Structure 1
Amino acid sequence: MARSKSKIPEAEKARRSLSKKIKKIRAEKPHFVRQESWRYKRVKPAWRKPRGIDSKMRRRKKGWPASPSTGYRTPKILRGLHPSGFVETLVHRVEDLKSLDPQIHAVRIAGGLGKGKRTEIFREAKSLGLKILNPPRAARAGKEAEAK
């Protein structure tokens, strides 16, 4: 009995496994918070290096939040990728889409563009089979209407 080939292309399988790895790595990495930010409302949680002489966090005491270090760095092949596993590419013109591969790249339409150019880029990207990370409002409204 011969084995049937999978309907999912190899590149798609690789991207899906990559996406799972990205999610797993990001889930394992702690959210680094500023010392005592949970204690005082005026101290925002955005990371700042603890510098106090008696700081438990600086001394890496057990039970205190983790501090960023090189061991938490994302693997080189996953660095800079979108959570979906695609390489995120900023697009300003329709011509920018021509050199992109739908298996590898995802498109983010530049924010400074008007409604017309944005819609034009969206249509071209859709026809080329590219994933659009920030589709125009009109396109999103159409998807919501289809879902209902």
Structure 2
Amino acid sequence: MEHKRLLKVRRRQKARKPEFRRYCWNKKLRLRNKSWRRPRGLFNKLRKRYGGKWSGRIPVNVGFGSPKAVRGLHPSGYEEVLVYNPADLEKIDKERQAVRIASCVGMKKRLAIEDKAKELGIKVLNPSG
């Protein structure tokens, strides 16, 4: 019950969280899809948090994290486990964990994994078809 509440809290927090883009991401193509890095320049306005178009921008801060109990979980509330073959399903706890079939797995083995998961009652996060 507590996990469901915290997942709702996380969803609400993520909706309000700004998109943290790297400094000067709009000027350099190579920075477009890069993750946040803290500006370290001596006169950098974003680091100093004042002036110009950077005055309204919010740098990454401690308060934007999700609740610790649900951090890293799938939105459905399960912990994701990557699976490569049907034998890997034996180690899965179906109450807490869900399966994601690796992208390198072919169709024949994928279908075998899905059949065995259905048999064991394990949720597959990326089923075929």
For 1:65, the equivalent position in structure 2 comes to 57
Q: CA deviation at 1:20?
A: 1.6
Query: Separation in 2 of the partners of 1:128 and 1:14?
Result: 26
Change in CA separation of 1:70 and 1:19 when aligned onto 2, cut-off 3 Å: closer
Q: CA deviation at 1:41?
A: 5.7
Deviating 4+ runs (over 6 angstroms): none
For 1:86, the equivalent position in structure 2 comes to 78
Determine what percentage of the aligned residue pairs are the same residue.
40
Contact 1:57-1:64 at 8 Å conserved across structures: no
TM (norm. structure 1) is 0.68
Q: Does 1 or 2 have the higher relative contact order (CA < 8 Å, sep 6+)?
A: 2
TM (norm. structure 2) is 0.76
When the two chains are superposed, the root-mean-square deviation of aligned CA atoms in Å is 2.4
Structure that is richer in helix per residue: 2
Q: After alignment, is 94-103 or 119-128 more displaced?
A: 94-103
Change in CA separation of 1:45 and 1:115 when aligned onto 2, cut-off 3 Å: closer
**Any gaps of 5 or more consecutive residues in structure 1?**
1-12, 141-148
For 1:23, the equivalent position in structure 2 comes to 11
Query: Separation in 2 of the partners of 1:113 and 1:103?
Result: 25
1:113 aligns with 2:101: no
For 1:8, the equivalent position in structure 2 comes to none
**Any gaps of 5 or more consecutive residues in structure 2?**
none
